[in-house]
A and B are shown apart, each in its own frame.
Chain A
Amino acid sequence: MQKVYTKIESIIGNVITVRAEGVRYQDLAMVGNSYANVIKLDGDLVSLQVYAGAQGVSTDDPVRFLGEPMRVSYSENLLGRVFSGSGRPMDGGPVLDENMIEIGGPSVNPARRIVPRNMIRTGIPMIDVFNTLVESQKLPIFSVSGEPYNQLLARIAMQAEVDLIVLGGMGLKYDDYLFFRDTLEQSGAMGRTIMFIHTASDPTVECTLVPDMALAVAERFALDGRKVLVLLTDMTNFADAQKELAITMDQVPSNRGYPGDLYSQLASRYEKAVDFEGAGSLTILGVTTMPGDDVTHPVPDNTGYITEGQYYLKNGRIEPFGSLSRLKQNVNKDTRDDHRQLMDGMIKLYAAYKDSLEKKSMGFNMNDWDNKLLKYGALFETKLMDLSVNIPLEDALDLGWEILAECFEPNETGLKTSLIEERWPRRTEG
């Protein structure tokens, strides 16, 4: 059912309208050399958003309706490849067009979901020990421009114990794209990675497609039994692209110019995270940069209501306060018997350290206890919080005990006596 129309009625922003019949909502069309999809039907007036942007589109350009929705190829051949938001190869490799699957499919029946139960090890103590990442979790990294959030994502991608990584880059600087590509290639993780990349200079419409493409592919791999980790950076750019398109379509903005359905748009992507019983799983780790470091900005705010916690990346470290993994209780009971208590105990002491630090900065006298806390806090920050630390969970827990033993007497830690007897490091030499 391929019909060609050559009379474009209007071109506004990236949206063109054409008079056509028999067109279905969300169908794909070719406008010149670019894909476009139907976003509104009004009688025979069809509105299409042009993926490559409407610059240079002429009123007599042919519009060819393909009679099918947007699809993406799904096969093992995707591994190691890089695509644009509309599925074009960006790595010079061949175009893939076998086994096409639809993007933006239906959501999982809640009755078929299961309670998440498997930990994902990352080698980062601030995640593994304090806010464990769980399979099928959806978790954003809240950060601000300038922070090393992409470095953090790349590290997690290389180290996380998953079968497959799908990276969705939105509004990435070209340097950042190269950084991801080179880092993954050097570490040898490229062979289990698929990238959908929209760089800042690419057309806006493709930005909004990236999460759908990445998640559609990831979902199929998960159904085929793979443990998939989807990395989305940066979701704020995705929301901004949505905003741009909504304004072009004359939609009434709700909050700071964002469309009223921002929550639903974000949720329909994040909710793709799932653990399929009897098959694989899909975990989403996103980046949300907070404009002006303001967590009440509509994008981080709506995200926070959707996701299962968040990591705050500030001053190059994952902050223990504010960061939260809502699912950690599901898994940290089965890791090691001292995990939960040590986690709580160390965080409480770190909070006390922060108080002492404040006291110190205000010029109050430091007593013995304050000095102990200051020593503890410094050790905690360099040995555990620093992003360069890369140790397995068990070693991180042991290290935690060592730090405690170096700074405190056992009864000062607020930990249970029985636990201290079992785990307190014995000083062998001197």
Chain B
Amino acid sequence: MDNKTGRVVGVNGNMVTVRFEGAISKNEVGYISVDNTRLKGEVIKIRGQFADMQIFEMTNKIAVGDSVTFTSEMLSVELGPGLLTQVYDGLQNPLPDLAEKCGFFLQRGVYLDPIPNRDWDFTPVAVQGQKVRPGDTLGTVPEGVFTHRIMVPFSFADTDWTVKSIVPAGTYNVRSKVAVLTDPRGNEKECTMVFSWPVKRPIKLYKERLRPDEPLVTKIRIIDTFLPIAKGGTYCIPGPFGAGKTVLQHMTSKNADVDIVIIAACGERAGEVVETLKEFPELIDPKTGRTLMERTIIICNTSSMPVAARESSVYTAVTMGEYYRQMGLNVLLLADSTSRWAQAMREMSGRLEEIPGEEAFPAYLESVIAAFYERAGKVRLNDGTVASVTIGGTVSPAGGNFEEPVTQATLKVVGAFHGLSRERSDARKYPAIHPLDSWSKYSGIIDQKKVDRARSILFRGNEVSQMMKVVGEEGTSVEDYTIYQKGELLDAAYLQQNSFDPVDAAVLPERQSHVFDLLYRVLTTEYNLEDKRAVRGFFNQLRQKFLDWNGVRTDDPRYASFEEEINALVDSKAVNKGGR
């Protein structure tokens, strides 16, 4: 590799202009030498002999004439065993290691090895003489409960490589040689357990993309039943501040039925990451019996950390997601918040003096957001296994107004929309997802016809409640009032969930469908109730029973008795006894 160098000629915020010698490429990484440290940056624009670089660190003390070295490599992440349980910044710097080295503060220009330097028990899968292609498995190591595939580096030329040698089963360091491959021309290349991949290039080593048709269970009733998400799908959660976006993401990261969760805390509060950091190592994942941390990677570029690294952090996260997908696993990426990522783009675009679009966001905002969400997907890998990356992003619209560019650009490309509403969160209704404004294109765990019917009751109930605001309770008929109460019951007993209650906080799909069936019966039955007072009393009773029922474990004897009581209550007032 030739040493391509340059000199700084201008500094404007986190953008540095460099005059360079030789050939450089767009998105190439370069380092600026300042005060015995090297500051990482990425080339984002080239004009003649001048390159504009966005610097991933604070730019103070950079002077005109400072030397720059280019690496010929695009911004990349290292992939290999040991990624799980790690906490990285947006450039894959391991934060706990950095804390050990630098103390309380994030010192700039310190870049540590992202993959922990340790030994793994390697079991070869490929044999000598075998033909392999990039992404094919050479061997495996056990990483926690997962079988981590050591693969032919994705960056190798897409051709038939021959395994010239491979080490026998045993314990090897993560960076030691495990195999030697030769290409058709006889060139040799060594493989370790680690290789790197440019973050902005999707990994596409699979046979075909499949339709995301399998529900991804979150154990949150309003999502699983009414607004489902799918493995390999995409969804977004826009909402004003204080509506509970982060809490919802946090609950999802705990309970989602996937193999691996990657949390990209992008430009949000550091305190929220700390909660996850302290809590996850203590929580046990019922599926594996290990701590939640063992299935989690955290990419954390909080709001006070340099802006350019915020932009790369979502890409870092999705690249790791795609890497684990190549092992046949289901990955969920939670990005909080994509608005901060878009703002980082806006800042950079402003410094580049590009012609601004709406609210000064760059004109390419929509295509960049679309390209990011398109990296989600359910795929059939070359060995036939089906795996997925699901992306869920929060959006923080200015003023809570969904008409702004980031929300609108996101809505165009996602498969489900969970809009949080200020009214619901003010009324302490958790989760504050608006049941009528939100939508999902995926199919859930419950028969769609029934869900539609329940939704229509909710819709009608809402209409009646709007009407009642004008004409008062007096001017509403008993029939309408009953529909209103049915809608309220559905909301209180099913759509809302008490996240502090150990039972109600996470509800398995079997239980959801069981409870929904009974609720469905309640909603579709006609009742013999003389006046509105009787209606209100009747539904208050039902609501109390449902709420109590929600707090009881399925193996508790009271679980069945509550069900009986509800059925009996319905029978006592139903027009057509037992009618469905």
Measuring CB to CB, which residues of chain A are less than 8 angstroms from any residue of chain B? Answer: 21-27, 40-44, 69, 104-116, 223, 251-255, 259-261, 263-264, 267-268, 271-272, 276, 295-298, 301-302, 304-306, 308-309, 321-322, 324, 327
Contact partner of B359 (CB less than 8 A), chosen from A41, A111, A254, is A254
Known: A109-B95, A267-B267, A306-B269. 20 other contacts (CB 8 A): A21-B64, A22-B63, A23-B63, A25-B60, A41-B64, A43-B10, A104-B60, A107-B105, A107-B302, A111-B96, A113-B271, A114-B274, A115-B274, A251-B350, A252-B360, A254-B360, A254-B361, A263-B303, A264-B267, A322-B426
A252–B356 touching, CB < 8 Å:
yes
Q: Is B413 an interface residue (CB 8 A)?
A: no
Q: Is B277 an interface residue (CB 8 A)?
A: yes
Q: What 1/0 flags go to B94-105 for Cβ under 8 Å of A? A: 011011001111
B241–A301 touching, CB < 8 Å:
yes
Q: What are 12 contact pairs spanning A and B, CB under 8 A?
A: A24-B63, A25-B60, A40-B12, A41-B63, A42-B9, A43-B64, A108-B104, A112-B99, A264-B343, A271-B303, A272-B304, A309-B242
Q: How large is the interface on B (under 10, 10 to 19, 20 to 34, 35 or more residues)?
A: 35 or more
Which residue from chain A places its CB closest to the CB of B60 in the assembled complex? A26
B303–A42 touching, CB < 8 Å:
no
Q: Whole-angstrom distance from the CB of B487 to the nearest CB of chain A?
A: 20
Contact partner of B347 (CB less than 8 A), chosen from A113, A260, A304, is A260
Query: How far is B396's CA from A263's CA once the two chains are assembled, in angstroms?
Result: 12
Identify which of B398-406, B448-456, B550-558, B561-569 touches chain A.
Answer: B398-406
What residues of B have a CB within 8 angstroms of the CB of A254 in the complex?
Answer: 346, 356, 359-361
What residues of A have a CB within 8 angstroms of the CB of B98 in the complex?
Answer: 109, 111
Q: Whole-angstrom distance from the CB of B205 to the nearest CB of chain A?
A: 33
Q: Is B262 an interface residue (CB 8 A)?
A: no
Query: How far is B278's CA from A255's CA once the two chains are assembled, in angstroms?
Result: 37
B12–A41 touching, CB < 8 Å:
yes
A260–B241 touching, CB < 8 Å:
no
B269–A301 touching, CB < 8 Å:
no
Which residue from chain B places its CB closest to the CB of A102 in the assembled complex? B60
Query: How far is B274's CA from A112's CA once the two chains are assembled, in angstroms?
Result: 9
Q: Whole-angstrom distance from the CB of B216 to the nearest CB of chain A?
A: 27
Q: Is B305 an interface residue (CB 8 A)?
A: yes
Instruction: Count CB-based A-B contacts (< 8 Å).
Output: 166
Contact partner of B10 (CB less than 8 A), chosen from A21, A24, A41, A69, is A41
What residues of A have a CB within 8 angstroms of the CB of B307 in the complex?
Answer: 261, 264
Q: Whole-angstrom distance from the CB of A46 to the nearest CB of chain B?
A: 9
Which residue from chain B places its CB closest to the CB of A302 in the assembled complex? B398
Query: How far is B11's CA from A41's CA once the two chains are assembled, in angstroms?
Result: 5
B63–A271 touching, CB < 8 Å:
no
What residues of A have a CB within 8 angstroms of the CB of B278 in the complex?
Answer: 114-115
Which residue from chain A places its CB closest to the CB of B351 in the assembled complex? A251
Query: How far is B60's CA from A69's CA once the two chains are assembled, in angstroms?
Result: 8
What residues of A have a CB within 8 angstroms of the CB of B11 in the complex?
Answer: 25, 40-41
Q: Is B545 an interface residue (CB 8 A)?
A: no
Q: Which of B63, B104, B108, B356 has the most CB of A within 10 A?
A: B104
Q: Is B533 an interface residue (CB 8 A)?
A: no
Q: Whole-angstrom distance from the CB of A391 to the nearest CB of chain B?
A: 27
B304–A267 touching, CB < 8 Å:
yes
Q: Is B59 an interface residue (CB 8 A)?
A: yes
Q: Which of B10, B60, B65, B340 has the most CB of A within 10 A?
A: B60
Which residue from chain B places its CB closest to the CB of A21 in the assembled complex? B64
What residues of A have a CB within 8 angstroms of the CB of B365 in the complex?
Answer: none
Query: How far is B304's CA from A302's CA once the two chains are assembled, in angstroms?
Result: 14
Q: Whole-angstrom distance from the CB of A256 to the nearest CB of chain B?
A: 10
A110–B399 touching, CB < 8 Å:
no
Within 8 A of A (CB), among B313-348: 340, 343, 346-347
What residues of B have a CB within 8 angstroms of the CB of A305 in the complex?
Answer: 241, 396
A112–B87 touching, CB < 8 Å:
no
A42–B10 touching, CB < 8 Å:
yes
Q: Whole-angstrom distance from the CB of A370 to the nearest CB of chain B?
A: 15
Contact partner of B399 (CB less than 8 A), chosen from A261, A268, A271, A301, is A301
B106–A260 touching, CB < 8 Å:
no
Q: Is B542 an interface residue (CB 8 A)?
A: no
- Whether A110 touches B270, Cβ cut-off 8 Å, given contacts A40-B11, A252-B360, is yes
Q: Is B62 an interface residue (CB 8 A)?
A: yes
